[in-house]
């Protein structure tokens, strides 16, 4: 091992593997920092929590814009839904690599385990990620390092290869035992964490990208909440399903762009029409909004329509969305 101060920048999801990878390097006296990424599809919350619990500094980078460019046509394709796992990891390492060069870190690392995930963590896919990130030769995976050829960091004595591991496969017994040995008691249960692996979310996103085509970051965050109904190629509505969802939708509501609807008298969902719409679409949306209340189907009822500072009450028939499936798309 070298006597110089070695600095490593690690990709962190906040999960157990990320934590162990960082602690293994810290145990060698390496100065470890994490970087984690934010988009509408995955959150940095777990990584930030892990940072606090394990006293490892962290940087958070919002990569939404560059991520969306990649997502339109990922070179390695999608997984089962709209998850571009291999190109996602390559992009993250590319972004981390830029930070590494700018801030003088010696190498990058992650908590990836060979064979743990069938698409993104095979040896071939991990080699693909390293190559396409532009930082092959600068990436260390401490939990599986001894299953791979020796890296330049090991050859140069920045890292002691004998103190790295050779974990492979989907079993987590080795990691759990190591966590107990290292005193790691708090870590989240393993989970995908990425909305792009969800079939329903992917359908909504595909609709936004292929049908609507014009959208902004707020539209991407909205995909996580409520019912989404496509009324026309340029018009959709988001209907809350619970009080909590109404609250989240309300936070994403843009009073300067969106139309907001609610029943005039009865409790029911908050409905918004992102980007607005013409009078026909507003009336249809109002009828559907009323259909999710206890108002009598088919009978006229009153709905409050709000746009900017203007508010009016319109009378529309109560319609159930399920009865309009030949006219609208239920996303």
pLDDT tens column, 150-189: 999 999 999 999 999 999 988 889 999 998 999 998 888 7
Lowest-pLDDT range of 19-28, 61-70, 187-196: 187-196
Tell if the pTM clears 0.85, that is, is over it: yes
Instruction: Tell whether 259 is covered by a domain.
Output: yes
Three-class DSSP category at 71: helix
How much of the chain exceeds pLDDT 70, in percent? Answer: 97
Residue 329 has pLDDT above 80, yes or no: yes
Domain boundary among 194, 227, 249: 194
In this structure, the answer to whether residues 236 and 315 fall within a common structural domain is yes
In this structure, the answer to whether residues 168 and 278 fall within a common structural domain is no
Instruction: Please report the pLDDT score of residue 14 as a whole number.
Output: 93
Q: From CA 97, how far away is CA 108, in angstroms rounded?
A: 7
Length of the chain, please?
331
Strands 300-307 and 271-273: unpaired
Instruction: Please report the pLDDT score of residue 2 as a whole number.
Output: 62
Q: From CA 272, how far away is CA 255, in angstroms rounded?
A: 10
Instruction: Tell whether 27 is covered by a domain.
Output: yes
In this structure, the answer to whether residues 245 and 184 fall within a common structural domain is no
In this structure, the answer to whether residues 85 and 209 fall within a common structural domain is no
**Radius of gyration (C-alpha) of the chain in whole angstroms:** 24
Residue 237 has pLDDT above 70, yes or no: yes
In this structure, the answer to whether residues 294 and 306 fall within a common structural domain is yes
Q: Which residue has the tokens 């092959």?
A: 136
In this structure, the answer to whether residues 38 and 58 fall within a common structural domain is yes
In this structure, the answer to whether residues 143 and 164 fall within a common structural domain is yes
Please state the separation of Cα 259 from the chain's center in Å: 27
In this structure, the answer to whether residues 234 and 137 fall within a common structural domain is no
Q: From CA 317, how far away is CA 284, in angstroms rounded?
A: 9
Domain boundary among 167, 194, 221: 194
Domain boundary among 149, 174, 194: 194
Domain count, the chain: 2
In this structure, the answer to whether residues 173 and 57 fall within a common structural domain is yes
In this structure, the answer to whether residues 121 and 202 fall within a common structural domain is no
Instruction: Tell whether 1 is covered by a domain.
Output: no
Instruction: Please report the pLDDT score of residue 326 as a whole number.
Output: 86
Instruction: Please report the pLDDT score of residue 118 as a whole number.
Output: 56
Instruction: Tell whether 244 is covered by a domain.
Output: yes
Dihedral angle, C-alpha 144, 146, 151, 157, nearest 10 °: 110
> Which of residues 4 and 106 earns the better pLDDT score?
106
The CATH number covering residue 109 comes to 3.40.50.620
Dihedral angle, C-alpha 157, 158, 160, 165, nearest 10 °: -130
Q: 208 near 234, Cβ under 8 Å?
A: no
Burial category of 318 from C-beta neighbours within 10 Å (exposed 0-12, middle 13-18, buried 19 and up): buried
In this structure, the answer to whether residues 270 and 309 fall within a common structural domain is yes
In this structure, the answer to whether residues 179 and 210 fall within a common structural domain is no
pLDDT digits (tens, 9 = 90+) for 259-310: 999 999 999 999 999 999 999 999 999 999 999 999 999 999 999 999 998 9
- 237: which strand partners? 229
Lowest-pLDDT range of 91-95, 144-148, 188-192, 253-257: 188-192
Instruction: Tell whether 187 is covered by a domain.
Output: yes
Q: 58 near 36, Cβ under 8 Å?
A: yes
* Residue 307 lies in domain: 198-330
């Amino acid at each position: 091992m070298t006597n110089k101060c070695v600095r490593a920048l690690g990709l962190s999801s906040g999960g157990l593997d990320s934590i162990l990878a960082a602690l293994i390097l810290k145990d060698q006296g390496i100065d470890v920092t994490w970087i984690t990424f934010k988009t509408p599809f995955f959150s940095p919350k777990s990584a930030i929590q892990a940072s606090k619990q394990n006293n490892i500094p962290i940087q958070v980078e919002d990569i939404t814009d560059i991520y969306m460019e990649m997502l339109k046509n990922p070179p390695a394709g999608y997984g089962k839904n709209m998850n571009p796992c291999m190109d996602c990891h390559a992009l993250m390492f590319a972004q981390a690599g830029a930070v590494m060069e700018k801030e003088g870190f010696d190498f990058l690392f992650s908590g990836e385990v060979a064979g743990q995930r069938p698409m993104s963590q095979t040896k071939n896919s991990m080699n693909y990620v390293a190559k396409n990130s532009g930082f092959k030769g600068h990436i260390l995976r401490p939990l599986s390092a001894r299953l791979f050829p020796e890296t330049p960091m090991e050859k140069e004595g920045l890292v002691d290869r004998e103190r790295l591991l050779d974990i492979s496969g989907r079993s987590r017994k080795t990691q759990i035992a190591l966590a107990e040995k290292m005193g790691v008691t708090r870590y989240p249960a393993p989970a995908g964490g990425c909305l792009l692996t969800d079939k329903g979310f992917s359908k909504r996103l595909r609709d936004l990208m292929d049908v609507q085509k014009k959208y902004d970051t707020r539209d991407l965050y909205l995909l996580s909440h409520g019912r989404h109904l496509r009324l026309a190629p340029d018009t959709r509505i988001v209907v809350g399903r619970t009080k909590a969802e109404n609250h989240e939708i309300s936070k994403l509501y843009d009073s300067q762009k969106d139309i907001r609807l609610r029943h005039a008298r009865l409790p029911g969902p908050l409905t918004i029409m992102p980007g607005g719409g013409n009078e026909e679409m507003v009336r249809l949306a109002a009828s559907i909004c009323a259909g999710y209340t206890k108002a009598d189907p088919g009978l006229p009822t009153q709905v409050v329509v709000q746009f900017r500072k203007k508010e009016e009450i319109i009378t529309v028939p109560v319609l159930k969305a399920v009865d309009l499936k030949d006219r609208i798309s239920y996303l």
